[in-house]
Chain A
């Protein structure tokens, strides 16, 4: 079975400092991994995706994530936080062997302080 663990329910950073949102996954086969962002009272927006190509994935708004199979991790990073990055972030795993159904982590709320 697939599962996702987001290691922090809340992360607080100051504007201009680096962001690290941690994610570990469990999947039996070759997973696809995603990060989605949800701003307050909004829908979900795809930030980036890993689908077995390059292990370092670049997404929108300066975010990137690195797929590390040996550590079963897919952490999301950004060099310099902006106030507009304040939102909830979801790490998601999917596998063709499970019908491409998305399995979501519980989410990490990112707070950016001025």
Chain B
């Protein structure tokens, strides 16, 4: 089925460790996004990529980096994980020229201890 695939689904890190969350979409969408979800706060935008080769900061970018590897893939990296980064992370994609909302991945539940 077409959609957005995120890996891993679950991860536990120790404070200071690094990791990369992977995201791939097969809908030929130009735009991709990383959100984090915390209780009572909805989803907040970390970084986005309007098109291949471009990335921009969202609402909460500190402590994260991203790479738009190609049109399909958009990764999120935590260089030195902190407990405040414990959250559920969602990747999404959209086609701005036919904008009917986003397609979301199933999420990555990250715990930093």
Chain A residues engaging chain B, CB cutoff 8 angstroms: 4, 9, 32, 34, 42-44, 46, 49, 51, 90, 92, 94, 96, 99-107
A86 to B40, CA, bound (A): 17
Instruction: Report how many residues on chain B are interfacial, defined by Cβ distance under 8 Å.
Output: 24
**Given A100-B96, A101-B58, do A90 and B31 touch, yes or no (CB 8 Å)?**
no
Name the A residues within 8 Å of B107 (CB-CB): 43
B44 at the interface (CB under 8 A from A): yes
Are B96 and A90 in contact (CB-based, < 8 A)? no
Q: In the assembly, what is the distance between CA of A103 and CA of B45, in Å?
A: 8
User: Which residues of B lie under 8 Å from residue A94 when comparing CB positions?
Assistant: 99, 101
Knowing A43-B105, A43-B107, A106-B40 touch, does A100 contact B99 (C-beta < 8 A)?
yes
Complex Cα gap A94–B104 (Å): 15
Report the separation of the CA atoms of residues A49 and B33 in the bound assembly, to the nearest whole angstrom: 19
